[in-house]
Structure 1
Amino acid sequence: MNISLEHPEMLLLIIPVTIAGFYLLRKTKTKIVEWRMLVAFLLILALAAPFTTVTQTVNEDNPSLVLIQDKTSSMGLFSNETGNDLYKALAADTSTTLVQLTGDKTNLGDAVTQYSGTGNQIVLITDGNNNSGKSLVDALGFAKETNTSVYLVEPELKTNDLSVEIHGDKSVIVDNPNEFDIVVRQASNQSVSYSYEAYVDGELSQSGDVTQNSTQYTISPNLRHTFSTLGAHNISVKITPSGEDLSSINNKFYKSVYVIPKPKLTLVTGEPNSPLAQILNKLYNTSVFTTYPGASALNSSKTLALDNQFADNLTETQVKEIRKYVTNGGGLVVVGGERAYNYGNYLNSSFEKILPVISRPSEYKGGRNLVLILDVSPSTTAHKTQGDILGNAIYILQNENLKDANAEIIAFGSKGYDVSGGFVFLGLAQNQATLKDKIEKLAPDEESKTSLDAGLNISKEMLTGKEGELDAIIISDGAIEDSYKPSLQAAKELQKLGVNLYFIHIRSVAPSQIDKSRNYYAEMFMKELGLEKNYFHINMSERANIVFKSTDKSQEEENEEEKETEENATSDYSLYVYSPNSFITKDVNLTSNITGYNDVTPKAGAERLVITTSNGKPVLTTWRFGLGRVAAFTTDNGQGDGSRWATNVYNGSSARLISSMINWAIANPRAEEGTVVDSPDTWLGTPSNLTLTMYDEGIPQLKLDGNALDLALTGKNTYETNVNPNSIGIHDISGYPLAVNYPLEYRDVGLNEDIEPLVLSTGGKIYNEKDARALLLKDARQNSVKQSDEQVSLKVYVLLTALVLYLGEILARRIREMRKLKNTQG
């Protein structure tokens, strides 16, 4: 039993009591002082209010439920009776409150937040598409924090519906090529056919017939257009389904485009005709200098590009100017070569402090340590997945790119244990054969428990202190709910060690027969770790295709690599997008090689975007510096004073990396002069936030379709207002375009499966209508059995002890006195 004190500071009173007690002991030398000191100590302890925490189990046979029924417009695709029938069934047996959401907006997150933490359990009958108010991710996270179980009842889809949307930039640069994605969604995942027509400024630009077999599809090729005139333009697309389609309101989409002059760019280079310079001159209003032109040249420039420049070419004053320019919001792109970075005296210079990299070779630790964590719990026998778990493990060990790896096999059921006896080098055929034999002999655990955390904890012990590439692969049937929380904590500890974690989840039955509660625990596990891309859900007899990059490197090869780096050898290095979701790389199809690079190391806080595949050397690294953005492109300009390291990068689809890198550094391409309006396209019924920036003196005046707008001053020379046109189409804000499309409620059609792991994380479950009637109340009763920690005060017991001691001392003293008196009288 753990005992705590509510007022521990009261224990300080022991000091004066102790001093007084010892003083009296020296004076009187009687035991009564010791008794009284002990009583005083107990009284002080009572003042400190000791308590212990007792865990109590609370069980509700009739839990309170809040049934939130989504009856907004998007629910017209589903059965209308699901919510009503379920409410009647639940209300007959337990306290149930019905909440209905209606209209053209779904505030599902607000409703979940409102009823979380109130002692209720929440039942959602919805398609899961939340489009207004608090996000559903945050709302279900709050429900989890407040121990509110949330159940999801997925209604039955009755009819199909299609919607279309255009993705792309609103502000585009004149005479530059642009690409726009046409995205089509459908409520079901059946095969549907439709035709489409895309218009630019009212003229047909692209059309075709499409057959779609998924819930979301991006039409290929995407819409490409170069705008040759400044100002307002518009794009529209219309789809015409050939089959079932509930509503036509979401079959047409408008996008407004505002074409601006080419942003100003300053390029400092010794090779004004390089492939880099040619791209920059074509896409931007580029001023080219052979030496740094000074701060005055940067006043109207959006970005400064330094191409293959010695650090010694910049004086300390000029470095301070560049630092100030970037800190105040300017962009900086530093391109490598034989006079830059490790060849240009950047190391430990004042200029290097601005950059996201350090100009010394990045450390290569080499090798790979791989742990396979295999599920041998009884459920793998019941689900008939044991053979596939072991088969996938053997398949992974045979991967050609693991020939230099050290592998460890760990099995888990009720406990975790080491199968391989430590790490085994896979470069020897006999070692692979030995591991295969050990894996094939694994048998299911006899105890009915799946303790994934036990396997993960052993993995942590084995990987702690290891260098190189660290990988751990869980292969399981996904039935990990009993050990979910400790397993999640163990996995997070592995992540802190730098371990790449994968989960191969073997589906044991047909998708229609899957118990979703079990099916989604594995996926939820990886999502909570932020590793959705490392989650593989495969059928029995299938093999997961985890891609391992080769790290095979002998000492001789390492020495040769160092030599090649020093001599700038012309070997080919394939490029790999390391961070595919960044602004720069998300739409880049990088297919080129380079023959050289500057060897640098990313700083803490920098983002490595592009690397070489053979040795992981950074080629493009970025970070924010003050209000500005800095990109370190550590290969050359494509000409390289004859060395030509990166010529291929500036050709074909790879060239988009260069424009994307510059656009990222520029951030806001619009000139900071005159009057600048910004108002994003919106949906009918959803206001668009309009911002007006006045760079010139004057009174701000804007009109929406000829009607004056009221503007509020919100900052220096900055005005804002909300605009909310009441009709679909392209609207005019004093020459600036604004597109208003169908209500957002009609964009996302069908079931949103992304919320299912979030629902399960609250302790709830997912049902269809039939299963909800049979199982939901039973599960709610089980979830109402909760343990609560309550404080139990121990003060009264301390006081009683003090009283007993005090009375006992008095009684003992009186007995002694009476005996002494009796002896005297006798």
Structure 2
Amino acid sequence: MVQFENIEMLVLIIPVIIAGLFLMKKGARKGLIISRILVAVLLVIALASPFTLVPRVTSDDNPDLVIISDETDSMELFENETSAELYEALTSKTPTSLVKITGESTALGDAIVQYSTGENQIVLVTDGNSNSGEELEDALQFAQETGTTVYLVQPDLEENDLSVQIEGDKTVTYKNENQYEIVVSQAIEEEVSYSYELYSDDTLIRSGRVTQTEREKRIIVPQVTFSKLGAHTLKAVITPSSSDVDDINNVFYKSIYTIPKSDIRTIGLDTDSPLGDILFNLYDVSSSGELNNIDDKKAIVIDNTHANSFTEDEVQELKDYLNDGRGIVVVGGDGSYNFGDYLDSPIEEILPVVSTPTDWSGGRNIVLVLDISQSTSAHQTLDDILGNALFILNNDDLRDAYLGVIAFGSEGMDVSGGLLFLGTASNLEMLEDSIQTLTPGSTSETSLDQGLAIAEEWLEGESGELEIIIISDGGIEQSYDDSLEIAQDIVDRGVNLYYVHIRSSAPSQTDDYAKFYAETLMDEVGGVYFHIDQEERANIQFEDLEPASEEEEETEAGTFPLIEYNTRHFITKNIDVEGSITGYNDVTPKAGADRLIITSTGKPVLTTWRYGLGRVAAFTTDNGQGGDNMWATQMYSGNNSKLISSTVNWVIGNPREETGAVVEAEDTWYGTPVTIELTMYDEGIPTLKLDDDEVDLSLTGTNVYEAVIDPGSIGIHDLSGYPVAVNYALEYRDVGLNEELPSLIKAYGGSTYTVNQARNNLLEEAQGNSEKLVRDSVSQKIYFLLAALIIFLGEVILRRIREIKEMKKLEQEIRT
């Protein structure tokens, strides 16, 4: 395919043609003008510098290697001669250089970007815990794009170390109960013992002794309250019995800022209901039931209220309230939603649901098994494989399905972390991102059987419609026998199997060879085979599933089990909802709404969305008290009761009072600057002091100021009454090997080695990876110049011959 370096020059063709047409219209010789136009057009094309890309394979028996040695403080747990020994082993065989990273921070990403030239390969000797600079994944992607392969050598871990953190909210409400987690990590997965203490403002509130065998242990500390407004401190201290190299990371500070209870308004609330008990306990509740004076309220809770209770003016007032960035929770019951004439009413306009019954078409589980072997890059099919996966992912008929993604090359790789519900925007976005970032592997192996093995494991025990869709360029002959065996087992279990074969750019014989194996595999097991061209999408038809009846939904008489459909939402991420309800309002989510909690066959119980700048939550069961029947008593007891407070907190958004000067800042780590934000709600000159030293502020928005601070010591610092905690340097937080890095290295074409494996095998793989497909630019300008010259000379010669003939004819006529 011809491309152009200066494609803008082609615009000159237009005036050339216009000039030629003008001359012909004036009576110039048509043949001469046409030939001159062709010559001029060819010269313009040559001026645009046409070229083609010609592929060729290059290789190097002595590849250039760069060893990046992590020698930061966290590496004192590991054998410290690994890099030197590896350098000595490699430098005698191939050009090798050694780069060292030192200090109290690890910027692996920056080092990878700096040394990725495309003419070398990088060997990381590190624990993999990068804590500053470029993100590791972005750096690995950059290296791959430049043609630099990155390998990981994991040094031997010789000593253990423990670190502690506290996780939980910084901004809390006065006298409300809060839950925090003490997180203890160790470098080696071995049995260790330690005592822990948790202090609140220097008062011991929790202690104990723990024996830990896993890498990470979470100690839950519930019912932590603060009885004074303003700044507070939590401090966790661990005292290991043994196996602890450094004690700097055995103490952790968390700053707490206590604010007054949020003001909320309730409409129709039964104050004696379980819902009422929770709201009055956690918030400053005004239960006048009217919509006047709501501007200073953080949220409105509407409980079991008929649509006729709201005039159009009141609904408009609610819309204005939401557009100001506030939130509303609408609780169901026997007088609201489908029982309260909400359908097509003004109040329904702000809700994330419509009051019509949900047609459940769930019960479908799909696994996409995607080919990312090296051949998909060589045959230019990877974009079409990923494109077909995204096409299936966005099929509107699958909004109630679960879907997972597996990639395979030399082995199978879990991409999505299992099956995810497609009915939520967050899950859909995560799956799209996961698919779009897939890159081809570094080997030519295509082990379909490895991908199918993971898919079979995922679907084991699942019910409903089960489907596996393989998308590949068809090069599965190496793993055909193993793939056939596992595919037959999968189909025998009632799974529908599809094979989408993308026709590649390889010679037709190669594609026919791949087609034979792929199509034969499907014929053998009774699967469905698609053979499509590049840029084409497979039209897989998913049959409609029969809606489950109410009787099928109930596992016990009169009960409806609940399921968390979106566990990543703010409301549900730290809550494990358990139990059942005995009734609900039958509604259907609107487009763009998020279903968080549903019954076991898809009836929405908690649905959210954003309306303008505000937030709305539809809780479509009752307040726990009900009228004649109590639907949701289990929703207001035990751990489930946190769902109500989380929902109200989500619609509130910012619980801070919007008066005076409001400061916000995250806790930070020693040596890591932090950005602070000051919002001025009242008139005045903004000033902030950090430990009595004035902070320089910059205006970044309307009445919003920012500054970057870097406190110089570990502990709690005072920011004009607002606390900021500074803990040990990030270098000491993540101890031991980063267990996620090997999969990242593999995803971007590299491999992970132990020290011994690296000495024996790394150079051989580096030699193999030095074989690269290079596309050289070959100029095509000469051909257009020659064509122009031939046309010009041909026209001149023909014209001269014609003139000579005419002259001879004229001489003959004169003689006669």
Matches of residues 245-260 of structure 1 in structure 2 within 5 Å? 245-260=244-259
Question: For 1:587, which of 574, 581, 594 is the aligned residue?
Answer: 574
Q: What secondary structure, in the 3-state scheme, does the structure 2 residue paired with 1:802 have? A: helix
Q: d(CA) in 2 for partners of 1:4 and 1:374?
A: 32
User: Counterpart of 1:133?
Assistant: 133
Matches of residues 373-388 of structure 1 in structure 2 within 5 Å? none
User: Counterpart of 1:788?
Assistant: 774
Q: What secondary structure, in the 3-state scheme, does the structure 1 residue paired with 2:618 have? A: strand
User: Counterpart of 2:336?
Assistant: 340
Say yes or no: does 1:676 pair with 2:653: no
Say yes or no: does 1:188 pair with 2:174: no
Q: What secondary structure, in the 3-state scheme, does the structure 2 residue paired with 1:360 have? A: coil
The answer (yes or no) to whether the contact 1:410–1:455 under 8 Å persists in 2 is: no
Give the drift of 1:303.
0.8
The code of the aligned residue for 2:285 comes to T
Relative distance call for 1:83 and 1:272 in structure 2 (3 A) is same
The code of the aligned residue for 2:291 comes to P
1:492-541 per-position Cα deviation (integer Å, ceiling 9, x unaligned): 989x9899xxxxxxxxxxxxxxxxxxxxxxxxxxxxxxxxxxxxxxxxxx
Say yes or no: does 1:351 pair with 2:338: no
User: Counterpart of 1:616?
Assistant: 602
Report the TM-score, using the length of structure 2 for normalisation: 0.76
Question: For 2:675, which of 667, 674, 689 is the aligned residue?
Answer: 689
Q: d(CA) in 2 for partners of 1:457 and 1:289?
A: 70
1:287-339 per-position Cα deviation (integer Å, ceiling 9, x unaligned): 1133x322x2x222111111122333222222222222222221211112233
Unmatched 5+ residue regions in structure 1?
437-446, 466-485, 500-550
Relative distance call for 1:781 and 1:275 in structure 2 (3 A) is same
Matches of residues 741-820 of structure 1 in structure 2 within 5 Å? 741-811=727-797
Give the drift of 1:180.
0.7
The code of the aligned residue for 1:358 comes to V
User: Counterpart of 2:291?
Assistant: 293
Matches of residues 651-666 of structure 1 in structure 2 within 5 Å? 651-666=637-652
1:524-575 per-position Cα deviation (integer Å, ceiling 9, x unaligned): xxxxxxxxxxxxxxxxxxxxxxxxxxx996x7x638789x9xxxx9831111
Q: d(CA) in 2 for partners of 1:718 and 1:583?
A: 26
Aligned-residue RMSD, C-alpha = 4.6
1:390-446 per-position Cα deviation (integer Å, ceiling 9, x unaligned): 9999998884x63x54767989833989989x99999xxxx869999xxxxxxxxxx
Give the drift of 1:580.
1.3
Question: For 2:316, which of 317, 320, 324 is the aligned residue?
Answer: 320
1:162-202 per-position Cα deviation (integer Å, ceiling 9, x unaligned): 11111111121122111110111001112222222222222
Relative distance call for 1:269 and 1:243 in structure 2 (3 A) is same
Give the drift of 1:281.
0.5
Relative distance call for 1:64 and 1:279 in structure 2 (3 A) is same
Give the drift of 1:54.
1.9
Say yes or no: does 1:151 pair with 2:138: no
Relative distance call for 1:320 and 1:456 in structure 2 (3 A) is farther
The answer (yes or no) to whether the contact 1:206–1:223 under 8 Å persists in 2 is: no
Matches of residues 591-740 of structure 1 in structure 2 within 5 Å? 591-613=578-600, 615-740=601-726
Give the drift of 1:93.
4.6
1:778-806 per-position Cα deviation (integer Å, ceiling 9, x unaligned): 33333333223344332321222332344
User: Counterpart of 2:215?
Assistant: 215
Give the drift of 1:745.
1.0
The code of the aligned residue for 1:558 comes to S
The answer (yes or no) to whether the contact 2:17–2:37 under 8 Å persists in 1 is: no
The answer (yes or no) to whether the contact 1:570–1:596 under 8 Å persists in 2 is: no
Relative distance call for 1:718 and 1:570 in structure 2 (3 A) is farther
The answer (yes or no) to whether the contact 1:13–1:44 under 8 Å persists in 2 is: no
Q: d(CA) in 2 for partners of 1:398 and 1:284?
A: 46
Q: d(CA) in 1 for partners of 2:586 and 2:520?
A: 36
Q: d(CA) in 2 for partners of 1:754 and 1:638?
A: 44
| Count of residue pairs brought into register by the alignment | 715
The answer (yes or no) to whether the contact 1:373–1:456 under 8 Å persists in 2 is: no
Q: d(CA) in 2 for partners of 1:344 and 1:357?
A: 14
The answer (yes or no) to whether the contact 2:366–2:468 under 8 Å persists in 1 is: yes
Q: d(CA) in 1 for partners of 2:36 and 2:683?
A: 86
Relative distance call for 1:451 and 1:88 in structure 2 (3 A) is farther
Unmatched 5+ residue regions in structure 2?
372-407, 413-444, 498-510
The answer (yes or no) to whether the contact 1:308–1:338 under 8 Å persists in 2 is: yes
Relative distance call for 1:91 and 1:433 in structure 2 (3 A) is closer
Relative distance call for 1:611 and 1:256 in structure 2 (3 A) is same
Say yes or no: does 1:115 pair with 2:115: yes
Give the drift of 1:257.
1.9
Relative distance call for 1:99 and 1:320 in structure 2 (3 A) is farther
Say yes or no: does 1:572 pair with 2:559: yes
Give the drift of 1:683.
1.9
Q: d(CA) in 2 for partners of 1:452 and 1:246?
A: 60
Q: d(CA) in 2 for partners of 1:300 and 1:200?
A: 32
The code of the aligned residue for 1:151 comes to Y
The code of the aligned residue for 2:560 comes to Y
Relative distance call for 1:227 and 1:605 in structure 2 (3 A) is same
The code of the aligned residue for 2:321 comes to Y
User: Counterpart of 2:237?
Assistant: 238
Give the drift of 1:742.
1.5
Q: What secondary structure, in the 3-state scheme, does the structure 1 residue paired with 2:767 have? A: helix
The code of the aligned residue for 2:678 comes to L
Question: For 1:9, which of 11, 36, 43 is the aligned residue?
Answer: 11
The answer (yes or no) to whether the contact 1:684–1:727 under 8 Å persists in 2 is: yes
The code of the aligned residue for 1:766 comes to T
The code of the aligned residue for 1:243 comes to S
The code of the aligned residue for 1:689 comes to T
Q: What secondary structure, in the 3-state scheme, does the structure 1 residue paired with 2:287 have? A: strand
The answer (yes or no) to whether the contact 2:411–2:451 under 8 Å persists in 1 is: no
Relative distance call for 1:624 and 1:312 in structure 2 (3 A) is same
Q: d(CA) in 1 for partners of 2:276 and 2:741?
A: 47
The answer (yes or no) to whether the contact 1:66–1:122 under 8 Å persists in 2 is: yes
The code of the aligned residue for 2:11 comes to E
Q: Which has the larger displacement, 302-311 or 63-72?
A: 63-72
Q: d(CA) in 2 for partners of 1:716 and 1:453?
A: 65
Give the drift of 1:283.
0.7
The answer (yes or no) to whether the contact 2:68–2:101 under 8 Å persists in 1 is: yes
The answer (yes or no) to whether the contact 1:570–1:645 under 8 Å persists in 2 is: no
1:612-659 per-position Cα deviation (integer Å, ceiling 9, x unaligned): 11x112211222333322212111111222332212101111111111
Give the drift of 1:280.
0.2
The answer (yes or no) to whether the contact 2:325–2:614 under 8 Å persists in 1 is: yes
The answer (yes or no) to whether the contact 1:10–1:48 under 8 Å persists in 2 is: no
Relative distance call for 1:715 and 1:9 in structure 2 (3 A) is closer
User: Counterpart of 2:501?
Assistant: none
Q: What secondary structure, in the 3-state scheme, does the structure 1 residue paired with 2:175 have? A: coil
Q: What secondary structure, in the 3-state scheme, does the structure 1 residue paired with 2:631 have? A: coil
1:24-71 per-position Cα deviation (integer Å, ceiling 9, x unaligned): 9x9979x77876676566556545654433223333444444332211
Q: d(CA) in 2 for partners of 1:691 and 1:189?
A: 41
The answer (yes or no) to whether the contact 1:593–1:648 under 8 Å persists in 2 is: yes
Q: What secondary structure, in the 3-state scheme, does the structure 2 residue paired with 1:641 have? A: coil
Give the drift of 1:389.
9.5
Q: What secondary structure, in the 3-state scheme, does the structure 2 residue paired with 1:640 have? A: coil
The code of the aligned residue for 1:238 comes to V
Give the drift of 1:119.
4.2
The answer (yes or no) to whether the contact 1:407–1:424 under 8 Å persists in 2 is: no
Relative distance call for 1:405 and 1:241 in structure 2 (3 A) is same
Say yes or no: does 1:304 pair with 2:290: no
User: Counterpart of 1:474?
Assistant: none
Q: d(CA) in 1 for partners of 2:133 and 2:456?
A: 49
Relative distance call for 1:452 and 1:101 in structure 2 (3 A) is farther
Relative distance call for 1:763 and 1:20 in structure 2 (3 A) is same
Report the TM-score, using the length of structure 1 for normalisation: 0.75
